[in-house]
Structure 1
Amino acid sequence: MEFLAIPSLVVVLALWVIHSLILNRRLIQSQKQYQQFFNDSPVALIVINQNYRIIEWNQTAEAIFGWESGEGLGENILDLIVPNFDKAHVTSMLQKAAAEGISYSKNYNITKHGSEIFCEWRNRRLAGGRGDILCMAQDITVSQKTLDELNKRSTALESAGDAIFYTDEKGLIEFANRSFFALALNDQHQLYGTHIGKYLFKERLAFNTILSAFDSDHTWRGTISKRSDTEEKILSVTITAIYHRNRLVSYVANLHDITKISSHLDVLNHRVQHDPLTGAVNRSAMNDRLRHAIARSQRSRQNLALFFIDLNDFKLVNDRYGHEAGDQLLKSVAKNLISCLRNSDTVCRYGGDEFIVVIEDVKSKEHLQTVRDTIHAAISEPILLDTTITLKARASIGMALYPENATDGDALIKAADMAMYEEKKERKLNEQEPILCVDNHSH
C-alpha cells in the first residue's frame, strides 16, 4: 500500500507543478498585457502611493509632462508637476480620491521645460488596501484655450458698442446682442427666425440684389432706415457672409446708429452747397448741377435753358435803406424764385445781386415764355421792409439754350450773361427807377 501511495503523490505533485507553471505563464502574460495597456494608453497614467510619490508613470505621461519614467519615479507628484498656486486644490482632490474612491478635477500643471499646461484629471483609489491611487490625465490646453477664446469672443460680442446679429446658413436670424436691442427698433420682437433680407430690406428679393454687390471679402456695406419708438433711425450696415470649406454657414450683420451724424452731415452738406444768406444754391454747386443737367440733356435730347438774372440798381437799395434792407431783398427774391419753380429746377445766387436759374426738359417756346413770366412775377412780388416801406424789385434777365446757344456750362452762362446785358441796356432807355419804393402811410 505504501508503495502504491508514492506514485499517486508524485502524480499529484506533477499536476500541481504543471498547473502552477500554467498559472504563472498566464500571470506573466497578464502582466505583459497590463504593462502594454498601461504604456500604450492615450491617457497619461500615473500611480502614486499614499504619500503622493510616483510608483508608475506611462509613456503618455512622459510625452505630456516631459519627464521620462525613471526621472519621475519616487518623486512627489505635487512637487513635480503641480504649480504652487494650484497645490491646495490638487491636494484636496487626491484626499477625496483616497477617502471616497474617486475624484475629478481640472487644474494647471507644469512640464519639465517649465511650460504651463491645463489638464483634466480622474483619480481612482486602487484595490489592495495600500492606499495607492491611479491618476489619469488628459492635456486639454488647446481645447481650453479654444473655449476661453470663444468665451472672450462671446463676451466681446455681447458687450460690443455696435448692434450685432447673426443668422444660420439659411439667413434666419439666431442671435442679437444687447446693443442691438438698445436701438429699440419697432420690429425687434419679430427678430428671431426672420430672414435677414426681410428684416433689413423688407423683402428677400431686395437682399438678393445686395448679395450680388458683395465684395471679394464676402462683405456688403450700406445704409438703411429703421423706425424706433421715437424716431426714424439711419443705420450704417455691414453684412459679412461666413463660409467654412466653401459652404455658407452664416451671415453676420453689424449695425451702427448714424442718425445724428447723418443729420449733421446733411446740415454741413447744405452749408457747402448753399448760399448762407439766401438759401439758394451757391456757384460751386450750381456748376456741378449744370454739368450733370447737360449730360442728361445729351442723353434725352431735351433742351435746357439757363436764365441769368441781375437785379436793377440794387446798390440804390443799400444806399437808401441800408445793407439790412438789401439782404432782406435778396432773401425774398431767392425765396420767391424757389417757391414758384419746380424741385428739379436750380436757383443759384451767382454773386452779389445776380441769380441763375437752370430749367431742364424745356418743352417749347411757350414753356420758356411761361418760365420767364413766372420769374419776373416772383422777383416783382412786394417786399415789406417795415410798416412804412415796401419794395418791388425789377431785374434784367438774359436766357441761353443748350445746345442751341452753347455746348458747355461756361459758354452757356456767358451767353445768358450777354443776353442779360442787352436787356439791361434796353431797360435803362425806358425806366428811370427800376426799384419802386412805396410809403404805406401815404395810401
Structure 2
Amino acid sequence: MENKFTIPASGFLDLLPDAICVVDIDGRFVYVSTAFERIFGYAPNEVIGKPMIDLVHPDDRAETLAIADDIMAGNARINVENRYLRKDGEVVHIMWSARWSVDEQVRIAVARDITARKKAETLRSALYAISEAAHVASGLPDLFERMHGVIGTLLPAENVSIALHDTERQTLDFAYHIDQYGQPAELLRTSAERLYADIVSSRQPLLACTEENAPLPPELQAVGNRLSLCWLAAPLTTQSGVIGALFLRSYADGVHYTEHDKELVRFVSTQIATAVERKQLFARLQHASQYDPLTDLPNRGLLFDRLRTALARARRQQEMMAVLYLDLDRFKEVNDTYGHTAGDQLLKEVAQRLQQCVRESDTVARVGGDEFVILIESMQQAEYAAVIADKIHAAFHQPVQLESHRLHIVPSIGVAHYPQHGENEQSLLDHADAAMYEQKQTRKQAAPTPHR
C-alpha cells in the first residue's frame, strides 16, 4: 500500500523532550524526532525503514504487537508502558500514546522515557521487600533465599552467592550459594576471596568482566575461561565494618553486567548487610537466653521447653523416655583448691564428655553449678538409661588434666523414667534429683579427694 505520510520539516517537533515516532502499516519507522536519539541511542537515519518491534524488549514484543493491531483497528491508546532496548543494550522503560491515521496510513506515537521513575519505584519495592524479609524470615538461610528473590527483581540473578566473614577463623564462608551449572562454592572460593579482598579495601562494589575472546581478569582465572564471563561483587557493610559480600556471576551465555548494575548492587548490599546484622544479633540474643555461657549447653529454660515437647511426643506415640540428673562429687573442693578458673575448665571438660556419651537427638543441659541433666528420648528399652549412666561413669575413669593438675572426677547420677516416676517435667526432675542425692550419700565416703 502506498504510504501517504509526508515527513514534517524539522522545527518545533525536534524541540520536544519526548520522541515523536511514525510507523507505517508494515511496522517500520518512517519518521522519528531528534529526541529519539537521546532516549533510544539511535540516530534517526539508523532506524528509518527498520521494524519498530526490533527495538522492543523480547519479553514485551507479543503484547506490543497486539496493542499495535488494536491501534490500527482504530482504537487510540493512551499511556501504554513497555520496555525497549537502547543501542548500548540498556533497558529503557517507555510510556507512549499512539493513534492510527487512516488518511496517512501510519501510527503516530509520542514516547516518553520513564526509566528513572520505574527504577525509583523498583528500588522502593525492593527496600520494602528486604525490610519485610528481615522481619518474617525464620533464620539466615530463609533470609538469603528471600533476598535472592528481591535481587532478581532488580537485575539478572541466576547465579548468586552470599558469603559471610568468620572473624575468629578469618575465613570467607558461603552462607548461600545458587549456581545454574551446579558448580560448588568451593570451586569459586579462590576468585571470591580475591574479589573480597579488593572490595574490603575499597568498600565499593567491583565489576570484573572479560570481553569475548579476551583473557579473564587475574582474579577470575582460577575458575577458568570457559564458564566465567562476569562477576559483580559488593561488600556487605555495616557500621561495625564489612561482614561479608554479595557475589553475582554471569557465564558465557548470560548477561554482561554493567556499571549501572553496580549501583543497584550497592543499594541492595547495604540493605542486606543491615538485615543480616539484625538477624545475627537476634540469633545471638536468642542463643544467650537459651544456652549456658560457660559450656554452651542448653540452660534450664531450654531444658524445660525440650522436656515439655518430649513428654507430649511420648504421650502421643506411647514411647519411653528418661531423665538423668548428675552432679560432681566434691566439686567445691576443686574451686577451693585450684581456683574458679580451674573449676570452669573442669565444667567445660565435663560438658564435652557428657555429650560424647549420648545420641545427637538427646539433650545435655547445665542447670546450675556442677549440676547437669540429660534428657533421653525415644528409648526402645527401659535399660537404655542405665547403659548411658554406666557409659558416663566409664568416661570419667580417665582423669581430667587441667594444666599441671590431674583431677579424678566422680559423678553421682540419678535416673527417672517416664511414666513410672512422673508424668510431668517437675516430677521427673524431682525424682531424678532425689535418686542422685541418695547415690551421693551412699558413696560419699568412698569418693576420692581431688589431688595433683
Which band: TM-score by shorter chain?
0.3 to 0.5
TM-score w.r.t. structure 2 length?
A: 0.46
TM-score w.r.t. structure 1 length?
A: 0.47
Larger Rg: 1
